Structures are given as structure tokens and as C-alpha cells.
Amino acid sequence: MTLTELPLGATGGTAGVMIGQAPLAVLVLMAVLAISTVTDLRERRVPLWLTASGILGGLLLAAGSGGMGGAALQQSGIGLVVGLLLLSPFVMLGGIGLGDALLLGVVGTWFGWTFVLWTAWWASVAGAALALVVVAAARIRKQRAHSIPYVPAITMGALVVLVTAATRG
């Protein structure tokens, strides 16, 4: 399966179809990720109203799109669960906030489980790179690196998957 054949949640199609025919999903996701990134960098939190409305909006769009036996709603629900479960162990250990997991759930709700897995993969790569930069900068200043916001990494991961899907489709 190529990235252009990713089953999607609320959009009910594939990434190639989504890029061409459902720009609303891309715009909503980019808006949620942009607001979350700015908020996480400034306040070190992700607003619950934003993630809850992102999840609800994706589920409502999927439910409204109907399709074969509610396939879009099923993909959206599976994407939500996968997105939440991916970061749950880290939330329970206190390494990542619940808002980060909810944000990954938003990604899964709008674009499905395969998309959220790829997003998580690229987010982990971006998060590792950001962590190295923060630790190196702290050592140069002879300070201790504290926690690192993870939403920018999630945003970068989602962008990589969207751009890859768009260029291959």
C-alpha cells in the first residue's frame, strides 16, 4: 500500500482523493495543528476544547458522509483509537501530556489509522531531532534541558505524511 492509498477516517477516501477532493479535512487539520503548536510552545499545553472539537468534527463528518455500511465512521473511529493508544503509555508514565495523545487522536479521526501510524512514525523522528537540538543548546549554555514540547513534532509528522501523499498522488 502506498501513501496515496491510505484509508482515511472522516474523509472516507484515500489520501490521493482527499488531497484533490476534500481540502476541508486538510484545512481543519492544519488549523488544529497550528493552534496546538503555538499554544504548546507558549503555554506548554494543548487546549481541550480544540482537541475535543477536532475529534467531534471528524466523527460528525464521517457519520454524515455515510458510505458503505458506515465505512467512513468506522475508519474515523479506528483512527481515533489508534491515535490515542499510541501515546497512552507515555501519558501514563508522565512523559507526554494527555493533550498530545488527544491531538494524535484528532489526526486519526480525520485521516484514519494508517495515516496516524505514519504521522506517529515521522513525529518520533522529528521529536528525536528536536530533542537533540534542545539538549545541545542547553549544553552550550551550560544549563539542564527540561521538558520538550511534543506538538511541534506531531505537526511535522503530519505535514510529512500530507506532503508525501500529495506528491505521490
Query: Per-residue pLDDT averaged across 28-37, rounded?
Result: 96
Beta bridge partners, 7, equal 14
d(CA 16, CA 127): 27
Taking residues 11-27, what's their average pLDDT? 56
- pLDDT confidence bin for 169, thresholds 50/70/90: low
If pLDDT is split at 50, 70 and 90, which confidence band does 13 have?
Answer: very low
Q: Provide the pLDDT for residue 138.
A: 85
Which pLDDT score, from 0 to 100, does residue 145 have? 73
Query: What average pLDDT does this structure show over 29-33?
Result: 96
Q: pLDDT tens digit string along 101-157?
A: 999 999 999 999 999 999 999 999 999 999 999 888 888 888 887 788 999 999 999
pLDDT band at 28 (very low <50, low <70, confident <90, very high): very high
pLDDT value at position 46?
96
- pLDDT on residue 67: 64
Q: 48-65 and 98-140 helices cross at what angle (nearest 10)?
A: 130
**Residue in the block written with cell 474523509:** 11
Instruction: Read off the pLDDT of residues 62-104 as tens digits, 9 standing for 90 and up.
Output: 888 766 668 889 999 999 999 999 999 999 999 999 999 999 9
What is the structure's pLDDT at 137? 86
- The answer to whether 33 and 158 have CB atoms below 8 angstroms apart is yes
- What pLDDT shows up at residue 18? 42
Longest dimension (CA), the chain: 59
Q: How confident is the model at residue 4 (pLDDT cuts 50, 70, 90)?
A: very low
Q: What are phi and psi of 149, to 5 degrees?
A: -65, 135
- Cell numbers that stand for 37 in this block: 503548536
pLDDT at 167: 84
